[in-house]
Structure 1
């Protein structure tokens, strides 16, 4: 589902929720497994869009579509800088540090993630399994 670029993460989550609801009807509330799938899809959406706004120079593109493999999210931003992940045990991790966990969450929850850098920024594509 290609739609206008959302203004924020909440609008992007609404787009994804509408897509999932249109495809699966009452997926939310259909049991714990379905609720986890929806929560994961919405969390990945939120993290990608929030990171584009906060660290990527602004959200420049957004698309969500269902494929045979799951939910495909494509998020574009204006920065060519690759996402940064803070791993446990590094000098930048630890008590008191706020943030820096989103990219690790995206990589953990998505079945596949790719980053393509281009002169005007980058595109991140994440595939979330819906089974």
Structure 2
């Protein structure tokens, strides 16, 4: 029987899972990389909860020298960078941060929305 893993209900729960995974890996991970991983995770989950109908799938794993995080949501709409970023604007920077910090980003459509696959080099 397959074990069902509960979806994170908040970005904090998702960050806790990623932090536990990074702490359990058998390599030293720089604290800046840990902070980047937690920020990416937080942004993806928060955006799924606020703008995309909720988190429908979540996975995090270490593959070789990379952390891979997948967040699936209930919306087929791809994230965008706002065209009107101005001084003093509140919000709208998360997707830009994810793309800047991640080693790679891929968006895959699904029957119920989309999946955002992010990899971050750990070394």
Q: TM-score, normalised by structure 1?
A: 0.85
Matched, 1:65 2:61: yes
Equivalent-residue separation in structure 1 for 2:27 and 2:109 (angstroms): 36
Equivalent-residue separation in structure 1 for 2:20 and 2:14 (angstroms): 10
2:31 to 29, 35, 40: 35
Q: Partner of 1:21 in structure 2? A: 23
2:92 to 74, 82, 100: 100
Give unmatched runs, 5+ long, in structure 2. none
Q: TM-score, normalised by structure 2?
A: 0.91
Deviant stretches of 4+, over 6 Å: none
Cα drift, residue 69 of structure 1 = 3.5
- Post-superposition Cα deviations, 1:30-68, rounded to whole Å, max 9, x if no partner, equal xxxx11010001000000000100111111110000001
8 Å Cα contact 1:3/1:63 also seen in 2: no
How big is the alpha-carbon RMSD for the aligned residues of Structure 1 and Structure 2? 1.6
How many residues are treated as equivalent by the alignment? 120
Equivalent-residue separation in structure 1 for 2:32 and 2:81 (angstroms): 23
